[in-house]
Amino acid sequence: MRRKNKFNIEIGSVLQNARIAKKLTQEEVAEQVDCSSRYIGQLETNRTLGSIDLLIELCNLYDITLNDLYGVYLKAIDLSNANDKCPNIVGYNELSSEYRSIIDNNINFLNTLQNKKKK
């Protein structure tokens, strides 16, 4: 059963196109990321959201970024003239808690990587 959300975020076609561009089959990808080819198919047809860990593995395998996956749905607002210098993500508050959690986990993970590079 497909989950409904206000923005109907679907990243499956991005994942599928990236896999095809790398000339990989679902079976080859599944073997490399240690899951079933059926699960890869479910991701590509938007029947499941996938874990953040798996999405990061797939991005690394396909040489794409998380922004490539979600960039269609998210835009940063330029707040350079505002008191708060932190950019907001348009539509973030309207997303389901599950999608907000995915985005939060992505941001936290990337911040952790960035902090490790600084040390």
pLDDT, tens digit only, all 119 positions of the chain: 444 444 456 789 899 999 999 999 999 999 999 999 999 999 999 888 788 889 989 999 999 988 888 776 665 444 444 443 334 555 666 667 777 777 777 777 777 776 766 65
Distance, CA of 84 to CA of 57 (rounded, Å): 33
* pLDDT in the model for residue 108: 75
* CATH number 1.10.260.40 given to 12-118: yes
Q: Are 8 and 37 in contact (CB under 8 A)?
A: no
- Between CA 78 and CA 66 the distance in angstroms is 20
Contact 100, 60 (CB under 8 A): no
Specify the pLDDT at position 101.
Answer: 79
Closest CA to 58 of 26, 81, 95: 26
pLDDT score recorded for residue 9: 66
